[in-house]
Chain A
Amino acid sequence: MKIVNYLIMIIFSALMIYASLSLPDRGDAYAVLNKEKSLAQTQNAASYYIHNAKKDAETENMVTVILADYRGYDTLGEETVILTAGLICFLLLRIEKNKNGKKKR
């Protein structure tokens, strides 16, 4: 059974490495992702953010505008995840003791 696990893991990582080889280089100006127009001749999201972030939100830091404004739902979800993690730690780990020294949930 262990051999099957290792085999699946090796095959999966080989697949991922093979797929990652055909990704564009970082900062490649001619990759489709980084061009101003997408294949369908519409404006790419990244290029829109770079052009309009300062104009839309009067904020110099582009990353802040994307994080909190354009992608506000995403950040709300992230914060909820953090709150959930804290509440789960609260439920699992907090053990109060009685006066007898006996542990109580």
Chain B
Amino acid sequence: MERKKDNPIVSLVSRTVSPFIMLFALYVIFHGHYSPGGGFQGGTMLAAAFILIRLSLGMETSQLQFKSSWATPLGSAGVLIYFGTGLVALLFGGNFLDYGFIPFTGTVAENRSIGILCIEIGVAIAVMAIMVSIYDDLLKGSPDD
């Protein structure tokens, strides 16, 4: 298929909307303690913001924002953040993934709250990176790229 020229309206709208999607995704991740949301949902929305840029501006331009080669290491890093939080709890004398033992703050309950936040961030990073990576993998075989 012949590639059409870049449409200024599409590129302008997607460039304007994408940061707001990212902002809302961060809100969903970090407000997961008080409202519906969390790592999986917020990570998917972050990935949607990146994929919107990829769709509208093309692969070469969007490499400036998020390189394809970052995706797999970031996904592994997200899982490692999750696993590492559990392992730190193990090192401080608790069970694996027992965040009450990590001394973030004074009380056990608040430690758990912050441990949950760490885990949500790890999940969000992994989900975001894997979504973008799958999109890139699917696009890589096309003759257009």
CB distance from A17 to the nearest CB of B (A): 31
Tell me if B116 and A57 are in contact (CB < 8 A): yes
Contacts of B35 in A (CB 8 A): 61
A79 and B36 in contact (CB under 8 A), knowing A87-B72, A93-B138, A95-B141? no
B contacts with A: majority SS: helix
A102 at the interface (CB under 8 A from B): no
Q: Interface size for chain A: under 10, 10 to 19, 20 to 34, or 35 or more residues?
A: 20 to 34
Tell me if A93 and B79 are in contact (CB < 8 A): no
Tell me if B130 and A86 are in contact (CB < 8 A): yes
Tell me if B137 and A79 are in contact (CB < 8 A): no
B67 at the interface (CB under 8 A from A): no
Tell me if B116 and A79 are in contact (CB < 8 A): no
A65 at the interface (CB under 8 A from B): yes
Tell me if B134 and A65 are in contact (CB < 8 A): no
Which of the candidate stretches B7-15, B16-24, B107-115 sits at the interface with the other chain?
Answer: B107-115
Tell me if A61 and B33 are in contact (CB < 8 A): yes
Instruction: Report the Cα distance A94→B112, complex, angstroms.
Output: 40
Binary CB contact string for chain A from 62 to 105 against chain B (1 if under 8 A, 0 otherwise) = 01110111001101101110110111011011111000000000
Report which A residues bind B (CB closer than 8 A).
55-61, 63-65, 67-69, 72-73, 75-76, 78-80, 82-83, 85-87, 89-90, 92-96
